[in-house]
Amino acid sequence: MSMAAIMTGEQWALIDPKHFRDVMGSYPTGVCVVTAQGEQGERWGLAVGSFTSISLDPTLVGFLPDKRSRSWERMAETGRFCVNVLGADQLATCQRFASRHEDKFEGISHGTSPGGLPLLDDVLAWIECDIARTVELGDHLLVVGAVRAMQRMTGDSPLIFYRGGYHMLAGIDGTLT
């Protein structure tokens, strides 16, 4: 089959969206809240499972916001974002930032990163980025961030999203070789 044939809408339609989500849900992800701040002090954020490390030299990370994300539309204009890696005890924070709540930061304790972006309390790590590139891919965008500052914090298990539910780490006996 030629690449052109694979790329047609007809071919793509063969995979049912529900089936796609169901199968892809077998790949577990961590959960982060990507935040940004406007010039008038407005704060935005959205929960994201698609965050990933991309490159070591230069240091690049990325995530994939839905094109329909109202938050990302405004965050993109600021040119910067901060990734907040959630711990297993931050499920309520995840749910708030996955909602369409008018002020997602209401009642959420947070400070600011060195670059002045919203930094949530008690996260496992944070990564501050400039937007290096944005690529349209289907109904999502791939946003590539150039890392400007980052820090690992204390904390135990990450919040894990897997097959439609939330989990925490259950370690197995194994080390990175």
Ligand X SMILES: Cc1cc2nc3c(=O)[nH]c(=O)nc-3n(C[C@H](O)[C@H](O)[C@H](O)COP(=O)(O)O)c2cc1C
* Contact status, residue 128 vs residue 82, Cβ threshold 8 Å: yes
Count the site residues for ligand X by CB under 6 A.
19
Which parts of 113-172 interact with ligand X (CB under 6 A)? Answer: 161
Task: Choose the stretch contacting ligand X; rule: CB under 6 A; options: 81-89, 95-103, 108-116, 125-133.
Answer: 95-103
CB of 124 to ligand X, least distance (A): 15
End-to-end CA distance of the chain: 40
Pick the closest to residue 117 from 38, 48, 61, 52 (CA basis): 38
Which parts of 21-80 interact with ligand X (CB under 6 A)? Answer: 31, 46-50, 63-66, 69-72
Q: Which is nearer to ligand X, 111 or 165 (CB)?
A: 165
Q: Which is nearer to ligand X, 48 or 119 (CB)?
A: 48
Distances, alpha carbon 129 to alpha carbons 55, 126, 136, 144, in Å: 13, 10, 19, 9
Q: How far apart are CA 86 and CA 33, in angstroms?
A: 7
Angle at 49 between CA 30 and CA 18, to 5 degrees: 120
CB of 50 to ligand X, least distance (A): 3
Token code pair at residue 112: 């600011």
Which of 100, 136, 164, 175 touches ligand X by CB under 6 A? 100
CB of 87 to ligand X, least distance (A): 14
Q: How far apart are CA 39 and CA 172, in angstroms?
A: 46
Q: How far apart are CA 40 and CA 11, in angstroms?
A: 46
Q: Which is nearer to ligand X, 48 or 117 (CB)?
A: 48
Q: Which is nearer to ligand X, 38 or 114 (CB)?
A: 38
What 8-state DSSP symbol labels residue 87? B
CB of 67 to ligand X, least distance (A): 8
Q: Which is nearer to ligand X, 72 or 126 (CB)?
A: 72
CB of 173 to ligand X, least distance (A): 28
List of residues contacting ligand X (CB under 6 A): 31, 46-50, 63-66, 69-72, 94, 97-98, 100, 161
